[in-house]
Amino acid sequence: MYGDMSVVRSDAARLRAQGDDVRARAMTIKARAEAMNWNSVAATAFRAEITVTADALGRSAAALDAAADALANHARAVDEVKALIHQAQQWAGDRLDEARSIAANAVKVVHDISENAVTGFMTVLATIPDQINNVTVSVFRVFGMDIAPETVARAQDIMRAVPNRPADQSPDWLDVQRFLNGARR
């Protein structure tokens, strides 16, 4: 989805090598011009022109170095984003799986129990008039464990908000992670 950053790094290395080559050629022509055993007005003009050319080559080499740095920085930034997406996918994927499991497997169970056995997970539906200290309660169960109604409601809200998992390595995982972090509060 994001391309092969090894290709971008290879391009950066190639540009850097080209910059080194251009810089070396500039130094070589400048050194050769200065080493010539030629003295005259024309020789002075020639050496001045070679200096101007060598300086231009030096600026070209610096531009190649800057382009190589930009490519290397881009590859590093893409790798950092890919790592963040991977982490978000792992974390958010686990939360989505958990919410999907709760939403799909929560069963509301109604039964009569002793009043002193009511837990925070249970909703009292009615008292039983003929039996003292007994109540009818409803409770959500997932795989035999009682869970709070708020947990089921939150799982159902998550499933409505994120009905489908984003594709692997999609930047949408970052949005899902932000949403789920907000939903936990």
* 20 confidence band (pLDDT: 50, 70, 90): very high
Which pLDDT tens digit goes with each residue over 110-168?
Answer: 767 666 666 666 666 655 556 566 667 778 888 888 888 889 999 999 999 999 999 99
Which pLDDT tens digit goes with each residue over 33-81?
Answer: 999 999 999 999 999 999 999 999 999 999 999 999 999 999 999 999 9
Considering the entire predicted model, what is its pTM?
0.69
Q: What is the pLDDT, as a whole number, of residue 114?
A: 67
CA distances from 12 to 15, 68, 72, 79, 146 (A): 5, 4, 6, 15, 58
List the structure tokens of 173.
Answer: 């995982």
Say which residue, 128 or 85, is predicted with more confidence. 85
Q: Which domains does the chain have, with CATH numbers?
A: 5-84 (1.10.287), 98-184 (no CATH)
Q: Whole-angstrom Cα distance, residue 92 to residue 95?
A: 5
Q: What is the pLDDT, as a whole number, of residue 109?
A: 79
Q: Which of 156, 179, 185, 153 is nearest to 166 (CA)?
A: 179
Sequence-distant (6+) residues with CB within 8 A of 43 are 36
